[in-house]
Amino acid sequence: MNWTSDKYHIFWKNIYKEQDKNYIDFLKRTVNTNYKIMGIRTPLLRKKANFIAKENIQSYLKVVKDETYEEVLMQGFVIGKLKNREEVANSMIQFVPKIDNWAICDMTVASLKIVNQEKDYFLPFIDRLLESDALYARRLGLVLLINYYVEDEFLEKIFKRILKTKGEEYYIDMAKAWLLCECFIKNQEKTYSFLENEIISFSILTKTVQKVCDSYRVSPLEKEKLKKLRAKKRKLYS
């Protein structure tokens, strides 16, 4: 079944009936977005995305509007339902400029399960994101690496991309630290060597050490080793 503008309007009018005003307040505190927030909880949006996936996804994407946070987030969920890698990549190229906050970015990445089966295919796409001037394009690339590429065979490629990705914005530094934390958990020796020998900002190093220290998957001994590295690097940056 094809989507029309009228069908789209009715579809979202019905979703709006599920508005949770308390959730609006929560989102406004946690998500910095220019989109209007309707206050629809994420599980319901995911359920509706499953409904769209049973119909015509591309038809839906042709009539979407970008008036609310939920409408844009739903687009990310729906793109994740596409089965063809080329369709996913092309749809994401159109979608990425719409991302203006960490929540849409990160939840969209979690929906793109196809990347896990098509790592080599999507790596050039990730490189395009990491080279972008747009903050959330770069974050999207980093979070894709976090979700689908933290494996021994990709670690060196990840390290190179961390060094090449420019920008000192908070959401970029935090994504790099999160990525390095996951790499450390996966392979402590290789990641420690990277942190010790490569030039990354002290801010990223500090955030990485904090994330590792917050993890239950790293031993106290390894955490202490990282703290000593941080102290050593602090003297170099001071």
Predicted pLDDT of residue 4: 95
Instruction: Give percent of the chain with pLDDT exceeding 90.
Output: 95
Distance CA 38, CA 18 (A): 9
Q: Which residue has the higher pLDDT, 2 or 236?
A: 2
Domains of the chain: 1-112 (no CATH), 117-238 (1.25.10.90)
Phi, psi of 118 (to 5 degrees): -130, 50
| Number of helical (H) and strand (E) elements in the chain, helices listed first | 15, 0
Predicted pLDDT of residue 236: 78
Predicted pLDDT of residue 235: 80
Residue 140: which residues within 8 A CB-CB, separation 6 or more? 96, 99, 105, 108, 109, 129
Burial per residue of 110-133, b for 16 or more beta-carbon CB atoms within 10 angstroms, e otherwise? ebbebbeebeeebbebbeebbebe
DSSP secondary-structure letter at 37?
A: P
Beta-bridge partner residues of 68:
36
What integer is the mean pLDDT of 26-41?
96
What integer is the mean pLDDT of 73-89?
97
Residue 207: which residues within 8 A CB-CB, separation 6 or more? 173, 174, 176, 177
Beta-bridge partner residues of 219:
none
Predicted pLDDT of residue 238: 62
Single-letter amino acid code for the residue at 85:
R
Q: What angle do CA 65, 71, 77 make, to 5 degrees?
A: 120
Residue 165 in this model has a pLDDT that exceeds 90:
yes
What integer is the mean pLDDT of 67-95?
97
Kindly state the tokens that stand for 204: 């990223």
Q: Is the dihedral of CA 87, 39, 136, 114 positive or negative?
A: negative
Q: Look at residue 151 and give its three-state secondary structure.
A: coil
pLDDT tens-place string over residues 183-229: 999 999 999 999 999 889 999 999 999 999 999 999 999 999 999 99
